[in-house]
Amino acid sequence: MLALTARALHTPLQRIDRPLVLIEEGAIVRLGSQSDYEVPGGAQLLNFSDCLLAPGLVDIHIHGAAGIDLMRADRPGLESFEKFLAAHGVTSYCPTTVAAPLETTLRSLARFADAIESRESGAADGPGRARPLGVHLEGPFLSHLRRGVHPPENLLPPTLSTFDRFWEAARGHIRLMTIAPELDGAPELIAAARQRGVVLSLGHSDATLEAAQTGVRAGARHATHTFNAMRPLDHRNPGILGEVLSNPLVTADVIADGVHVHPTVVRLFLAAKGAEGAVLITDATSAAGMPDGRYQLGPIEVEVKDGKCLHQGSLAGSVLTLDRAIRNVMEFAAWSFEHTLRAATLNPAKVLGVRQKGFLTPGADADFAVWTREHEVKTTIVKGVLRE
């Protein structure tokens, strides 16, 4: 048995001062105050005396980091990537695709499925590495007008037959899919994919308000990197952003790096979606954690300079880490650590429908980020294993 103590703990819905957490076989078995019970005899004690315990962060939109592009990653590369995530407090993530030639995407999905299944079986577990929860399929069902840097030749119309090929290659591990709801066939595919348990996210879209509402009625319940690669908000013709920002049924994520979305607009986004509906993502590329230079994002090359990741002058993912996103939101919007933490833990886990992640309670996975008073990540614990 492992016992954790610290200055305080955020579940994140509740703060517990001087907590005591008991962990066994990778799960939380008891959680409360040190005044309520004692460390059992024989338990290994980890005392993070002046630190905060919180759920491990959950990044549902990430393409790579530490020089590793996920669509190309081999097993050693994936392990390096997962160690990088853990160093920044991330214990769970969704490997995210980029629109690429069909066969390339199918091969990447098969590799993602291998990684997910090997971690589920414990065959490829390593100390304190982030774990994949399921695939985020970003593309190819995107608007040509709002495709961003996704190569136009790799975009495809949304059909069930094409989706079936992706589903089979991923062996059912597609958990989240970004789709432009205005495309012919999109509402039908949204409804069909939702029946398989996929979370449908509106994004890379030039949808009118009516088309976005049709997507929501079909089953879409989330929005991808809000404001980016979307029809701009207009006060007389609100478009997709009118639906995303006003509909409480729709959760939405944002890249809070101060580059993709101005800090003032981040504040507006958070005010619209609130503590329950806002999700922080990184949309990070292989350049995250690396010096300026040229890096890969799926089938395209990107250049990083002065904190911006660009392809032919357009933003192409980010170099953001999720712990930095939390600190940014605290600065941009004057949100408390507890509120901001929820947007990177409980909320993304709820978007995915994952009950064992993002919230600290008996029975949940023992995934923790340990934070200093300055809100820097000191270390992480994944399934009860301390990061080396």
Catalytic residues: 283
The crossing angle, in degrees rounded to 10, of helices 322-333 and 263-277 is: 100
The answer to whether 326 touches 280, Cβ cutoff 8 Å, is yes
Helices (H), 92-208: 102-121, 160-169, 186-195
The answer to whether 361 touches 28, Cβ cutoff 8 Å, is yes
The answer to whether 124 touches 75, Cβ cutoff 8 Å, is yes
Rounded Cα–Cα distance for residues 77 and 382 (Å)? 19
How, if at all, do strands 15-17 and 2-10 pair? antiparallel
Residue 134 has φ and ψ, to the nearest 5°, of 160, 165
Rounded Cα–Cα distance for residues 290 and 295 (Å)? 9
**CA distances in angstroms from 327 to 170, 275, 331, 336, 339, listed in the order given:** 34, 15, 6, 10, 12
Rounded Cα–Cα distance for residues 233 and 239 (Å)? 6
Rounded Cα–Cα distance for residues 219 and 212 (Å)? 11
DSSP 8-state class, residue 6: E
**CA distances in angstroms from 18 to 50, 78, 339, listed in the order given:** 10, 36, 20
- CA distance from start to end of the chain: 19
Is the sign of the CA dihedral 70, 74, 79, 81 positive or negative?
Answer: negative
How, if at all, do strands 174-179 and 135-138 pair? parallel
